[in-house]
Amino acid sequence: MSAERPVRSPCVSICALDEHDICIGCQRTAAEITQWGRMSNDERRVVLQHCTERACAAGQFLQTPVRP
C-alpha cells in the first residue's frame, strides 16, 4: 500500500494579502500559508474548505464546486 500523496497547495501565484490578511489569489490566511508545509492532509483539506467558503462569500465562485 502506497502512502497518500500530499494535498496540493491552492496557490495560483497571485500572492497579495487584503486588509484581513487573506490572500486574494488562493483565499488562505497568512497563517494558513505559512503553516501549509507542516499541515497534515486532513488539516489541508479543512483549509481548502475554508478557502472555498471565503471565495463564495466574496462572490468569486459562479457556482458551487463539484465534490468528488
Query: For residues 28 and 10, is the Cβ–Cβ distance under 8 A?
Result: yes
Q: What is the mean pLDDT of residues 56-62?
A: 80
Rg (CA), the chain: 13
Parent domain of 24: 12-59
Domain membership flag for residue 34? yes
Domain membership flag for residue 1? no
Per-residue pLDDT band for 68 (boundaries 50, 70, 90) equals low
Query: For residues 64 and 55, is the Cβ–Cβ distance under 8 A?
Result: no
Domain membership flag for residue 67? no
Question: What total number of domains does the chain contain?
Answer: 1
Domain membership flag for residue 5? no
Confidence (pLDDT) at 62: 60
- pLDDT at 5 > cutoff 70: yes
With 0.95 as the threshold, say if the pTM is over it.
no
Domain membership flag for residue 40? yes
